[in-house]
Chain A
Amino acid sequence: MADLTVAVSESAFQRLFVVLRDSIRWEAQDMTNFGPFTAGYHVKGHLEGGSVDFRADNSVLIDELDVRWDKFEFTLGLDIPEICVGGGCINMPWPIPDICLPRWCVFSANPDISISPDLAAFVAQELSVAGRPVVRYYDASIPPPVIDPCGFLRDILVDNSIIDPFPDHNQWHIHLNPDFIDLDLFDFADIVGNLIENALTAAVTALLPGGWVRDLILAIIGGIADFIRWLLDIPDEIDEWLSDLFNISFGLGDLLIQLIGEFFGACVPLIRVDDPLEVLGKEISTSVLLSGSPVELVAVTVPVRSLSVYVDNVEMVVQADIGG
């Protein structure tokens, strides 16, 4: 029996997943000039749907998590040099006032031509990913291999302050190794379903401003839109089922994403546990000596042995032993 056991139920994970999913929102915007050209973007999005499933084969499936865009606006602008005609004055002898010609300019604005289409309604992604926790031991005394692609990736991430550098002491590393990643860059089922639902909802709302009849019709429209989404999603479901069955992503894009995911999964740990683990920190004590002189007491550490993580269809379990 392990010295330490911590288990989290699938249902707790699912509830936490919903809270996390609903809390994650992002927004970014920027504008750059390339001489007379201007390019910019303004994107804003959130997550919807999706589910978490613990499976008996030691894997976790995050299924059909929708990436939704509230704004997906790209701006392209062109600044044409200003062209002016007219202007100038003809000096007339006194007392006749000078005659000044009117001045007409075109392309005075900056940029003169600008388009900013918002593609939010036409862009939606869907992500399904299955992965399994893998525990590895990082032995700081072993020099890295001569050709070390992981080290190269980690150096980049460390240089950009994305991850902490690997320490000079040993650690247990928990990685998430993806089995398959299915990212639908254009989730046609949802795009079409949303467009139909929005169009019908707008039409019904214009015809019937309120009341239970309108609510009933809107509910029916929602059901029809869901049916269309389901119907259009069947090919993708088959694709995901096959990916899950063979533990490999189908499609060039998904295969590439899976390769990148596996590279990250293998090289960058999600959780690190120091070995030995500090249980009592360094302490400056003035009560150890009768004189009251301060003494810096060393930290108390314990070796961590046999760290393991596994998942079955009801819970995720982390176990470890305290070394002798």
Chain B
Amino acid sequence: MPFTDRSDLFGAVHEDGINRLVRHIMRQRPSLFNYATPFFHNNAELFCVKFEVDDKVLKAKNPLFTEQEPLPILGAPVPIGLNFCLQLTDAQLDFHPGNVFGLPPELGRLADQRFALRLKGCMGIDCPPKELIDELLPLIERYLVAQQQLAIGETKERVPGISTHYTPPSSAFDNRERERPRTVALPTRSLICFCLELYAVGHFEWGTVPGSQQIWLKTRLDGLEIVDIEPKDMESAIECYLTTVLKLGILPRLIIPLEKMVLDISKEFQEMGLTLGRTVTLQPSAVPADVPNNPAVEEDQIKAFLKLTVTGGA
């Protein structure tokens, strides 16, 4: 059957292509998928999961991860924290029929016109050894006592052994930033790592938005499941929170107005130096008049159907 039997222009992307594209991005922009404290620049072997990096990233000396402040130790009188890393190690998409990965039983079988997403993330947090805590505790206590003395008007005392301010090495640093104290990470020898797998199922739909005359393409979340978190209520609470974040926080930002999907071919030709006497546009085929689903999620692909419209002129 021809691709364009129901439209003028047809475009499709296979799930294998998208998943391969994601892997290329992971290898060439590792900083989008790995987050860690600066400590990891010299201790990359401590990452929870080793990740592949393209040679050109190493050659260009691009950072392998996005730097994060250490995880603050709540209640500590000085800004100290723990080194940690957060890695998105796997991201896969599966268009109906599901065959790239199995869905957890809670989400059931992947239904028609649905897509599934699998994300695997790992987090590693430093666990300071008992000796270090024993070493630091007297200093903290002494600092707290010194602070109390300061509070009642006694002389300021500098506590030896604890640096409360991190001075960044870069000279190109904003003055306000320089004044802000940075959290100092405690020395780290090893991390405790754990990984979680998240599965989500969703679909696309056309609809209106109150207060707008436009038609919008919306991505909808049908279900979400985090595998193997105990106790069950904690799993449910986290899943509920993530579902709410996705439904109310992230997906509403991804809605696309129909007008944005219309390509003005006349304008494209004009940029090439040829003024067309008529207006030629490419716009999505109507649902259900032209096609039953647009975009359609089927045969392991996402498919878009477009029609060419010529208006104006003779």
Contact = CB atoms under 8 A, between A and B. Distances in A.
Interface of A: 1-9, 11-12, 15-16, 19-20, 22-24, 279-280, 285, 287-293, 295-302, 312, 314-315, 317, 321-324
B3 A5 contact: yes
B67 A290 contact: yes
Interface in B106-138: none
A295 B63 contact: yes
Interface in B258-288: 265, 269, 274-278, 280
Contact of B9 (A6, A292, A321): A6
B94 interface: no
Most interface-central of A291, A314, A321 (chain B CB within 10 A): A291
Contacts of A2: 14
B38 interface: yes
B235 interface: no
B310 A19 contact: yes
Contact of A11 (B8, B20, B182): B8
Contacts of B69: 290
A1 to B, nearest CB: 6
A293 B173 CA distance: 7
A298 B277 contact: no
A1 B170 CA distance: 51
B267 to A, nearest CB: 13
B225 interface: no
Nearest to B24: A302
A297 B173 CA distance: 20
Interface of B: 2-5, 7-14, 16-17, 20-21, 23-25, 28-29, 31, 38, 54, 56-57, 60, 62-63, 66-69, 168-170, 172-174, 177, 182, 265, 269, 274-278, 280, 299-301, 308, 310, 313-314
7 contacts: A1-B299, A1-B300, A7-B2, A12-B9, A300-B28, A301-B24, A322-B17
Contacts of B299: 1
Contact of B63 (A9, A20, A288, A322): A288
A175 to B, nearest CB: 20
Contacts of B28: 280, 298-301
Contact of A280 (B17, B29, B67, B172): B29
Given A287-B66, A290-B67, A8 B8 contact: yes
A317 B3 contact: yes
A280 B25 contact: yes
B16 A19 contact: no
A40 B299 CA distance: 64
B173 A291 contact: yes
Central interface residue in B4, B38, B62, by most chain A CB within 10 Å: B4
A293 B172 CA distance: 7
A11 B307 CA distance: 11
Given A290-B67, A295-B63, A9 B7 contact: yes
A3 B314 CA distance: 40
B20 A8 contact: no
Interface centre among A4, A289, A290, by most chain B C-beta atoms within 10 angstroms, is A290
Contact of B301 (A1, A22, A279, A299): A1
Given A8-B8, A12-B9, A296 B60 contact: yes
A14 B276 CA distance: 15
Nearest to B1: A314
Nearest to A7: B3
A293 B68 CA distance: 14
Contact of A16 (B12, B174, B308): B308
Nearest to A313: B2
> In the complex, which of the residues A7, A15, A24 has the most CB atoms of chain B within 10 Å of its own CB atom?
A7
Nearest to B169: A291
Given A19-B277, A23-B274, A298-B57, A315 B310 contact: no
A285 B56 CA distance: 17
A252 B168 CA distance: 78
B308 A5 contact: no
B168 A290 contact: yes
A31 to B, nearest CB: 26
A280 to B, nearest CB: 7
A3 B13 contact: yes
B3 A297 contact: no
Nearest to B282: A12
